[in-house]
Amino acid sequence: MQDTPPGNYGPPPAGYQQPPPPPGYNQYAQPPPMPKRDTIQGVKFFYWSLMLGLIMVLLAIVTAIAAFATLSAVSAGNAVGGIAAAGTIIALACGIVLIGLLILIFFILGVVRLNRGKNEYPEPHPSSVKKGMLFFVLWIVMFFVGIAVPFIMAPSVLSVTTANMNDIFASIRNIALVGAVIGLLSSLFLALMFKFMIEGVAQESEKAKTKIAVILFVVSGLLSVVLTFMLFPADASSLTTQDVVNLSTNATSIDGIGGIVSIIGYIFLVIAYKRTLSNLERGIVGQSAPMPVAPPQVGYAPPPPQ
């Protein structure tokens, strides 16, 4: 019998019937989508920046506690304890600067990759990323406005030549109040940017977490505004030393509450981005499930060559 060349088989024998396809098989099913690398990498960079941001906030709290310990030690005449606490503050400050630099790098990379990959998924993802970029631009504007405001309003403080404490307090209070409002807007725009960057690909549970984070960041910013009103009262002429101590104590309490609220907001964002990243890496977009891979079709198997 003549051997059949490999790959060149004749028709099946007479009476052969094609076996039925396996259950659920669809010959027109599309192959699973290719991974969306820019979007996934952008979400990953944002997740890393949020994690580092949370660590930096915690370090800032520890630094504040160390600064309070330093002042207490110096006030009590404990020079050795004050020096040790000051060394801790310097080490923590260096760590905060380093982490802040990493956050900036990851944040910029996340913005670039998500904006570049905004068309990797269908609507509403492209429109959502565009909204996120809009709030990113607004956040940048608020950042530079916050830098410019002290230089613009500082002459109002320097021009106060009278010994009236109310005039000095009023000028400083105005600067602090404007700064607190700018901080509130910056927190709002930044939180909205993080929200919309994954709005089009996140599941409903993660969208809810980003909304909660936005609310918490707004509350934290509002507490900063309240803190400014408490630290700089409208009438400072009748303030006593005890009044200043009471104001500082109350302001510290509000600042601590604002810090806790901000940390909770960071945690919600971290969880939302972590789960969204995990879903995207598995091919889950929004409420959809991963597209199954079609099993290979079972066809005629020719006999081996003799």
Q: Residue 14 domain-assigned? A: no
Of 90, 117, 144, which closes a domain? 117
| Statement to judge: residues 230 and 181 lie in one domain | yes
| Statement to judge: residues 95 and 54 lie in one domain | yes
When comparing pLDDT for 247 and 187, which is higher? Answer: 187
| Statement to judge: residues 255 and 145 lie in one domain | yes
Evaluate if residue 21 carries a pLDDT over 80: no
105-154 tens-digit pLDDT = 999 999 999 999 999 999 999 999 999 999 999 999 998 998 888 777 76
Q: What is the pLDDT of residue 289?
A: 43
Closest by CA position to 114, among listed 273, 286, 265, 272: 273
Q: Residue 179 domain-assigned? A: yes
**Cβ neighbours, 10 Å, residue 95:** 15
Q: Residue 304 domain-assigned? A: no
Residue 242's domain comprises 122-285
Q: Residue 306 domain-assigned? A: no
| Statement to judge: residues 219 and 281 lie in one domain | yes
189-209 tens-digit pLDDT = 999 999 999 999 999 999 999
Of 117, 135, 151, which closes a domain? 117
Q: How many domains does the structure of the chain reveal?
A: 2
Q: Residue 59 domain-assigned? A: yes
Contact in structure between 222 and 262 (CB atoms under 8 Å): no
Closest by CA position to 86, among listed 73, 100, 76: 73
| Statement to judge: residues 72 and 133 lie in one domain | no
Q: Residue 72 domain-assigned? A: yes
| Statement to judge: residues 131 and 101 lie in one domain | no
High-pLDDT (> 70) share of the chain, %: 61
| Statement to judge: residues 131 and 197 lie in one domain | yes
| Statement to judge: residues 109 and 175 lie in one domain | no
Of 65, 84, 117, which closes a domain? 117
| Statement to judge: residues 127 and 276 lie in one domain | yes
In the DSSP assignment, the letter for residue 198 is: T
Contact in structure between 275 and 206 (CB atoms under 8 Å): yes
**pTM, entire model:** 0.71
Peptide bond preceding 124 in cis form (omega within 30 of 0): yes
Q: Residue 28 domain-assigned? A: no
| Statement to judge: residues 145 and 55 lie in one domain | no
Q: Residue 254 domain-assigned? A: yes
| Statement to judge: residues 180 and 103 lie in one domain | no
| Statement to judge: residues 90 and 107 lie in one domain | yes
* Res. 210 pLDDT band, cuts 50 70 90: very high
Evaluate if residue 288 carries a pLDDT over 80: no
What token pair was written down for 210?
Answer: 């980003």
